[in-house]
Amino acid sequence: MAEFNDWIAGLPKAELHLHIDGSLEPGRLLQLAGKHGVDLPYADEAAVTAACEFDNLDEFLAMYYLGASVLRDEEDFYNLMMDYLTKCRTQNIRHCEVMIEPQTYADNGVPIDICMRGFKAAVNDARREWGQSCLMILSIMRHAPEEEGIKTLKAAEPYRDDFIALGLASSEVPFPPAQFKRLYELAASQEYRLGAHAGEEGPPGYISDALDLLHCERIDHGIRCAEDPALVERLAREQIPLTVCPLSNVRLRCFNNMSDHNILQLLDRNLCVTVNSDDPAYFGGYLNENFQALHAHLGLDKVQAARLAANSFTASYLGDAEKARFFEELEAY
Ligand code: ADE
Ligand code: ZN
Protein backbone atom coordinates (compact mmCIF):
# COMPACT_ATOMS: atom_id res chain seq x y z
CA MET A 1 0.00 0.00 0.00
CA ALA A 2 2.69 2.51 1.01
CA GLU A 3 4.74 1.67 -2.08
CA PHE A 4 1.72 2.20 -4.35
CA ASN A 5 0.87 5.48 -2.63
CA ASP A 6 4.43 6.75 -3.09
CA TRP A 7 4.27 5.76 -6.75
CA ILE A 8 0.95 7.60 -7.19
CA ALA A 9 2.43 10.69 -5.52
CA GLY A 10 5.17 10.82 -8.18
CA LEU A 11 2.91 9.99 -11.13
CA PRO A 12 2.62 12.98 -13.50
CA LYS A 13 -1.09 13.72 -13.91
CA ALA A 14 -3.68 16.38 -14.66
CA GLU A 15 -6.71 17.43 -12.65
CA LEU A 16 -9.65 18.55 -14.80
CA HIS A 17 -12.50 18.83 -12.31
CA LEU A 18 -11.78 21.12 -9.39
CA HIS A 19 -14.03 23.90 -8.08
CA ILE A 20 -11.72 26.50 -6.59
CA ASP A 21 -14.26 27.21 -3.81
CA GLY A 22 -14.14 23.50 -3.01
CA SER A 23 -10.46 23.82 -2.10
CA LEU A 24 -11.17 26.28 0.74
CA GLU A 25 -9.64 24.47 3.72
CA PRO A 26 -11.17 24.84 7.22
CA GLY A 27 -8.20 26.90 8.50
CA ARG A 28 -8.40 29.39 5.64
CA LEU A 29 -12.23 29.47 5.92
CA LEU A 30 -12.11 30.47 9.59
CA GLN A 31 -9.27 32.92 9.03
CA LEU A 32 -11.26 34.76 6.33
CA ALA A 33 -14.49 34.64 8.35
CA GLY A 34 -12.59 36.40 11.15
CA LYS A 35 -11.00 38.89 8.76
CA HIS A 36 -14.35 39.94 7.25
CA GLY A 37 -16.60 39.47 10.28
CA VAL A 38 -18.67 36.70 8.68
CA ASP A 39 -20.65 34.70 11.23
CA LEU A 40 -20.24 30.96 10.65
CA PRO A 41 -21.78 28.11 12.67
CA TYR A 42 -18.36 26.49 13.33
CA ALA A 43 -16.41 26.96 16.60
CA ASP A 44 -13.14 25.61 15.19
CA GLU A 45 -11.54 23.61 12.35
CA ALA A 46 -12.69 20.32 13.83
CA ALA A 47 -16.29 21.58 13.74
CA VAL A 48 -15.94 22.43 10.04
CA THR A 49 -14.59 18.96 9.29
CA ALA A 50 -17.34 17.36 11.40
CA ALA A 51 -19.96 19.26 9.37
CA CYS A 52 -18.75 17.61 6.15
CA GLU A 53 -21.36 14.84 6.28
CA PHE A 54 -23.82 14.95 3.41
CA ASP A 55 -26.78 12.93 2.19
CA ASN A 56 -26.86 14.48 -1.27
CA LEU A 57 -25.48 17.20 -3.54
CA ASP A 58 -27.81 19.96 -2.34
CA GLU A 59 -26.88 19.41 1.31
CA PHE A 60 -23.23 19.80 0.37
CA LEU A 61 -23.89 22.88 -1.78
CA ALA A 62 -25.50 24.71 1.17
CA MET A 63 -22.24 24.39 3.12
CA TYR A 64 -20.12 25.12 0.03
CA TYR A 65 -21.88 28.43 -0.75
CA LEU A 66 -21.77 29.45 2.91
CA GLY A 67 -18.03 28.76 2.85
CA ALA A 68 -17.51 30.81 -0.32
CA SER A 69 -19.22 33.79 1.34
CA VAL A 70 -15.99 34.56 3.26
CA LEU A 71 -14.11 35.36 0.01
CA ARG A 72 -14.23 39.12 -0.36
CA ASP A 73 -11.04 40.79 -1.55
CA GLU A 74 -8.28 40.25 -4.09
CA GLU A 75 -5.88 38.84 -1.50
CA ASP A 76 -8.47 36.18 -0.49
CA PHE A 77 -8.78 34.98 -4.09
CA TYR A 78 -5.01 35.04 -4.57
CA ASN A 79 -4.45 32.94 -1.45
CA LEU A 80 -7.22 30.48 -2.29
CA MET A 81 -5.78 29.84 -5.75
CA MET A 82 -2.19 29.76 -4.49
CA ASP A 83 -3.12 27.23 -1.77
CA TYR A 84 -4.52 24.90 -4.46
CA LEU A 85 -1.67 25.42 -6.94
CA THR A 86 0.84 24.71 -4.16
CA LYS A 87 -1.04 21.44 -3.58
CA CYS A 88 -0.66 20.70 -7.30
CA ARG A 89 3.08 21.14 -6.92
CA THR A 90 3.30 18.73 -3.95
CA GLN A 91 0.99 16.14 -5.60
CA ASN A 92 2.74 16.30 -9.00
CA ILE A 93 -0.43 17.55 -10.69
CA ARG A 94 1.46 18.82 -13.70
CA HIS A 95 -1.58 20.47 -15.26
CA CYS A 96 -4.89 21.61 -13.75
CA GLU A 97 -8.15 23.06 -15.05
CA VAL A 98 -9.89 25.05 -12.34
CA MET A 99 -13.58 26.02 -12.24
CA ILE A 100 -14.23 29.66 -11.31
CA GLU A 101 -17.79 30.64 -10.30
CA PRO A 102 -18.20 34.44 -10.41
CA GLN A 103 -21.98 34.26 -9.79
CA THR A 104 -21.31 33.03 -6.26
CA TYR A 105 -19.14 36.06 -5.49
CA ALA A 106 -21.51 38.48 -7.23
CA ASP A 107 -24.29 37.21 -4.95
CA ASN A 108 -22.09 38.40 -2.04
CA GLY A 109 -21.53 41.81 -3.67
CA VAL A 110 -18.05 40.97 -5.02
CA PRO A 111 -17.56 41.91 -8.69
CA ILE A 112 -15.75 39.68 -11.18
CA ASP A 113 -12.77 42.07 -11.39
CA ILE A 114 -11.85 41.42 -7.76
CA CYS A 115 -11.80 37.64 -8.05
CA MET A 116 -10.09 37.59 -11.44
CA ARG A 117 -7.30 39.92 -10.32
CA GLY A 118 -6.51 37.60 -7.41
CA PHE A 119 -6.85 34.33 -9.36
CA LYS A 120 -4.79 35.56 -12.32
CA ALA A 121 -1.98 36.83 -10.11
CA ALA A 122 -1.70 33.44 -8.38
CA VAL A 123 -1.80 31.49 -11.67
CA ASN A 124 0.92 33.75 -13.10
CA ASP A 125 3.11 33.44 -9.99
CA ALA A 126 2.81 29.61 -9.95
CA ARG A 127 3.62 29.44 -13.66
CA ARG A 128 6.67 31.65 -13.18
CA GLU A 129 7.90 30.10 -9.91
CA TRP A 130 7.67 26.40 -10.76
CA GLY A 131 6.16 26.11 -14.24
CA GLN A 132 2.69 25.15 -13.06
CA SER A 133 0.34 24.59 -15.99
CA CYS A 134 -3.18 25.86 -15.22
CA LEU A 135 -6.27 26.78 -17.25
CA MET A 136 -9.43 28.38 -15.88
CA ILE A 137 -13.02 27.35 -16.69
CA LEU A 138 -15.94 29.79 -16.38
CA SER A 139 -18.46 27.71 -14.44
CA ILE A 140 -22.12 28.81 -14.59
CA MET A 141 -24.66 28.07 -11.85
CA ARG A 142 -27.56 25.97 -13.13
CA HIS A 143 -29.75 26.74 -10.09
CA ALA A 144 -29.96 30.34 -11.39
CA PRO A 145 -31.95 31.27 -14.52
CA GLU A 146 -30.17 31.02 -17.89
CA GLU A 147 -30.41 34.81 -18.18
CA GLU A 148 -28.11 35.16 -15.13
CA GLY A 149 -25.62 32.83 -16.78
CA ILE A 150 -25.72 34.92 -19.94
CA LYS A 151 -25.09 38.05 -17.87
CA THR A 152 -22.09 36.32 -16.28
CA LEU A 153 -20.73 35.34 -19.70
CA LYS A 154 -21.04 39.00 -20.70
CA ALA A 155 -19.35 40.19 -17.48
CA ALA A 156 -16.51 37.78 -18.28
CA GLU A 157 -15.86 39.30 -21.72
CA PRO A 158 -12.85 41.35 -20.49
CA TYR A 159 -11.39 38.02 -19.29
CA ARG A 160 -12.16 36.04 -22.44
CA ASP A 161 -8.49 35.09 -22.87
CA ASP A 162 -8.25 33.88 -19.28
CA PHE A 163 -10.98 31.25 -19.66
CA ILE A 164 -10.42 28.24 -21.88
CA ALA A 165 -13.91 26.80 -21.47
CA LEU A 166 -17.45 27.16 -20.17
CA GLY A 167 -18.86 24.78 -17.55
CA LEU A 168 -22.21 24.21 -15.84
CA ALA A 169 -22.37 23.24 -12.15
CA SER A 170 -24.41 23.40 -8.93
CA SER A 171 -27.70 21.66 -8.16
CA GLU A 172 -28.29 19.28 -11.09
CA VAL A 173 -31.93 18.16 -10.77
CA PRO A 174 -34.30 19.68 -11.92
CA PHE A 175 -32.14 21.93 -14.09
CA PRO A 176 -31.63 19.96 -17.34
CA PRO A 177 -29.18 20.97 -20.05
CA ALA A 178 -32.09 22.02 -22.31
CA GLN A 179 -32.51 25.12 -20.12
CA PHE A 180 -29.07 26.43 -21.12
CA LYS A 181 -29.05 26.13 -24.92
CA ARG A 182 -28.81 29.88 -25.59
CA LEU A 183 -25.97 30.30 -23.10
CA TYR A 184 -24.00 27.50 -24.78
CA GLU A 185 -24.71 28.87 -28.26
CA LEU A 186 -23.36 32.24 -27.17
CA ALA A 187 -20.27 30.69 -25.59
CA ALA A 188 -19.66 28.60 -28.74
CA SER A 189 -19.86 31.78 -30.83
CA GLN A 190 -17.05 33.15 -28.61
CA GLU A 191 -15.04 29.96 -29.15
CA TYR A 192 -15.17 28.69 -25.58
CA ARG A 193 -14.52 24.97 -25.26
CA LEU A 194 -17.64 23.38 -23.76
CA GLY A 195 -18.18 21.06 -20.79
CA ALA A 196 -20.95 20.53 -18.22
CA HIS A 197 -21.76 18.53 -15.10
CA ALA A 198 -24.21 15.82 -16.10
CA GLY A 199 -25.20 12.40 -14.79
CA GLU A 200 -23.93 12.96 -11.23
CA GLU A 201 -27.39 12.93 -9.60
CA GLY A 202 -29.23 13.57 -12.87
CA PRO A 203 -30.36 10.77 -15.23
CA PRO A 204 -28.37 9.49 -18.24
CA GLY A 205 -30.58 11.65 -20.51
CA TYR A 206 -28.88 14.73 -19.05
CA ILE A 207 -25.56 13.40 -20.41
CA SER A 208 -26.98 12.86 -23.91
CA ASP A 209 -28.59 16.31 -23.80
CA ALA A 210 -25.32 17.95 -22.72
CA LEU A 211 -23.72 16.36 -25.81
CA ASP A 212 -26.55 16.89 -28.31
CA LEU A 213 -28.17 20.15 -27.16
CA LEU A 214 -25.20 21.98 -25.60
CA HIS A 215 -22.52 20.39 -27.84
CA CYS A 216 -20.25 19.62 -24.90
CA GLU A 217 -16.98 17.85 -25.67
CA ARG A 218 -16.41 16.74 -22.08
CA ILE A 219 -18.74 15.68 -19.25
CA ASP A 220 -18.16 16.29 -15.52
CA HIS A 221 -19.01 13.17 -13.48
CA GLY A 222 -21.17 11.26 -16.00
CA ILE A 223 -21.23 8.19 -13.73
CA ARG A 224 -24.96 7.53 -14.28
CA CYS A 225 -24.20 6.72 -17.94
CA ALA A 226 -23.85 3.13 -16.71
CA GLU A 227 -27.66 2.91 -16.52
CA ASP A 228 -27.91 3.24 -20.32
CA PRO A 229 -25.81 0.66 -22.24
CA ALA A 230 -26.30 2.49 -25.56
CA LEU A 231 -24.94 5.68 -23.99
CA VAL A 232 -21.94 3.82 -22.57
CA GLU A 233 -21.22 2.48 -26.06
CA ARG A 234 -21.51 5.96 -27.51
CA LEU A 235 -19.16 7.49 -24.90
CA ALA A 236 -16.60 4.78 -25.70
CA ARG A 237 -16.99 5.10 -29.48
CA GLU A 238 -16.75 8.90 -29.47
CA GLN A 239 -14.14 8.94 -26.66
CA ILE A 240 -16.07 11.61 -24.75
CA PRO A 241 -14.05 12.25 -21.58
CA LEU A 242 -15.74 11.89 -18.19
CA THR A 243 -14.13 13.75 -15.26
CA VAL A 244 -15.00 11.36 -12.45
CA CYS A 245 -14.59 12.30 -8.76
CA PRO A 246 -14.51 9.15 -6.60
CA LEU A 247 -14.32 10.61 -3.07
CA SER A 248 -16.98 13.19 -3.98
CA ASN A 249 -19.30 10.52 -5.38
CA VAL A 250 -19.12 8.50 -2.16
CA ARG A 251 -19.44 11.55 0.14
CA LEU A 252 -22.52 12.70 -1.79
CA ARG A 253 -23.95 9.17 -1.79
CA CYS A 254 -23.96 8.57 -5.52
CA PHE A 255 -22.38 5.27 -4.38
CA ASN A 256 -22.77 3.82 -0.87
CA ASN A 257 -19.14 2.71 -0.67
CA MET A 258 -15.97 3.20 -2.68
CA SER A 259 -16.07 -0.54 -3.42
CA ASP A 260 -19.33 0.11 -5.35
CA HIS A 261 -17.82 2.82 -7.57
CA ASN A 262 -18.05 2.12 -11.32
CA ILE A 263 -14.96 4.00 -12.58
CA LEU A 264 -12.89 0.88 -13.26
CA GLN A 265 -15.80 -0.81 -15.05
CA LEU A 266 -16.05 2.26 -17.30
CA LEU A 267 -12.27 2.16 -17.84
CA ASP A 268 -12.57 -1.54 -18.77
CA ARG A 269 -15.15 -0.61 -21.37
CA ASN A 270 -12.62 1.78 -22.87
CA LEU A 271 -14.29 5.03 -21.82
CA CYS A 272 -11.96 8.03 -21.45
CA VAL A 273 -12.48 8.34 -17.69
CA THR A 274 -10.25 10.50 -15.48
CA VAL A 275 -9.79 10.88 -11.70
CA ASN A 276 -10.44 14.24 -9.99
CA SER A 277 -11.10 15.66 -6.53
CA ASP A 278 -14.06 18.07 -7.20
CA ASP A 279 -14.08 19.79 -3.76
CA PRO A 280 -11.12 18.34 -1.87
CA ALA A 281 -11.45 20.50 1.25
CA TYR A 282 -14.94 19.06 1.82
CA PHE A 283 -14.56 15.47 0.63
CA GLY A 284 -11.50 14.29 2.53
CA GLY A 285 -8.77 14.34 -0.07
CA TYR A 286 -6.96 15.83 -3.04
CA LEU A 287 -6.12 14.02 -6.25
CA ASN A 288 -3.57 11.56 -4.82
CA GLU A 289 -6.00 10.55 -2.08
CA ASN A 290 -8.61 9.80 -4.76
CA PHE A 291 -6.18 7.46 -6.55
CA GLN A 292 -5.22 5.90 -3.21
CA ALA A 293 -8.88 5.24 -2.33
CA LEU A 294 -9.37 3.47 -5.68
CA HIS A 295 -6.34 1.31 -4.92
CA ALA A 296 -7.49 0.49 -1.38
CA HIS A 297 -11.12 -0.31 -2.21
CA LEU A 298 -11.16 -1.38 -5.87
CA GLY A 299 -7.66 -2.75 -6.29
CA LEU A 300 -6.58 -0.07 -8.79
CA ASP A 301 -3.20 -1.21 -10.12
CA LYS A 302 -0.32 0.73 -11.69
CA VAL A 303 -1.31 -0.09 -15.26
CA GLN A 304 -4.84 1.22 -14.67
CA ALA A 305 -3.54 4.28 -12.80
CA ALA A 306 -1.16 5.08 -15.66
CA ARG A 307 -4.06 4.79 -18.14
CA LEU A 308 -6.12 7.17 -15.98
CA ALA A 309 -3.21 9.63 -15.87
CA ALA A 310 -2.78 9.39 -19.67
CA ASN A 311 -6.53 10.01 -20.06
CA SER A 312 -6.22 13.12 -17.89
CA PHE A 313 -3.81 14.69 -20.38
CA THR A 314 -5.77 13.42 -23.40
CA ALA A 315 -9.02 14.86 -22.00
CA SER A 316 -7.48 18.22 -21.09
CA TYR A 317 -8.13 21.42 -23.02
CA LEU A 318 -4.40 21.73 -23.77
CA GLY A 319 -3.06 21.95 -27.32
CA ASP A 320 -1.35 18.98 -28.98
CA ALA A 321 2.21 20.22 -28.37
CA GLU A 322 1.64 20.64 -24.62
CA LYS A 323 -0.09 17.27 -24.40
CA ALA A 324 2.86 15.64 -26.17
CA ARG A 325 5.24 17.11 -23.60
CA PHE A 326 3.22 15.61 -20.73
CA PHE A 327 2.87 12.23 -22.48
CA GLU A 328 6.67 12.12 -22.72
CA GLU A 329 6.93 12.79 -18.98
CA LEU A 330 4.42 10.08 -18.25
CA GLU A 331 6.22 7.63 -20.55
CA ALA A 332 9.51 8.34 -18.78
CA TYR A 333 7.90 7.71 -15.38
N1 ADE B 1 -20.21 22.50 -7.29
C2 ADE B 1 -19.22 22.07 -6.49
N3 ADE B 1 -19.19 20.74 -6.44
C4 ADE B 1 -20.18 20.29 -7.24
C5 ADE B 1 -20.64 19.01 -7.63
N6 ADE B 1 -20.09 17.88 -7.16
N7 ADE B 1 -21.69 18.95 -8.46
C8 ADE B 1 -22.27 20.06 -8.92
N9 ADE B 1 -21.87 21.28 -8.60
C10 ADE B 1 -20.83 21.40 -7.77
ZN1 ZN C 1 -18.02 19.33 -9.73
**Contact between 284 and 52 (Cβ < 8 Å):** yes
Judge if the beta carbon of residue 279 lies within 6 A of ligand 1: yes
Closest atom, ligand 1, to C-alpha of 279: 3
pTM exceeds 0.85 for this model: yes
d(CA 180, ligand 2 centre) in Å: 17
**E strand or H helix that includes residue 222:** none
d(CA 247, CA 286): 9
Domains in the chain and their CATH numbers?
2-327 (3.20.20.140)
Radius of gyration of the chain (CA): 19
Q: Looking at the chain, how many residues does it have? A: 333
Phi and psi angles of residue 221, each rounded to the nearest 5 degrees, phi first: 75, -95
Angle, helices 74-90/112-130, rounded to nearest 10 degrees: 30
Omega before 174 within 30 of 0, i.e. cis: yes
Region of 274 on the Ramachandran plot (φ > 0 left; ψ -120 to 50 alpha; else beta): beta
What pLDDT is stored for residue 112 in this prediction?
98
Judge if the beta carbon of residue 222 lies within 6 A of ligand 1: no
Which residue out of 24, 143, 170 has the highest number of ligand 1 atoms within 8 Å of its CB and is therefore the one to mutate?
170
**Contact between 296 and 259 (Cβ < 8 Å):** no
Judge if the beta carbon of residue 201 lies within 6 A of ligand 1: no
Closest atom, ligand 1, to C-alpha of 139: 1
Judge if the beta carbon of residue 197 lies within 6 A of ligand 1: yes
Which of 200, 217, 227, 328 is catalytic? The answer is 200
What pLDDT is stored for residue 93 in this prediction?
99
Phi and psi angles of residue 297, each rounded to the nearest 5 degrees, phi first: -105, -20
d(CA 293, CA 264): 12
What pLDDT is stored for residue 1 in this prediction?
81
What pLDDT is stored for residue 237 in this prediction?
98
| Ranges under pLDDT 70 in the chain | none
CB-count burial class (<10 Å; 0-12, 13-18, 19+) for 101:
buried
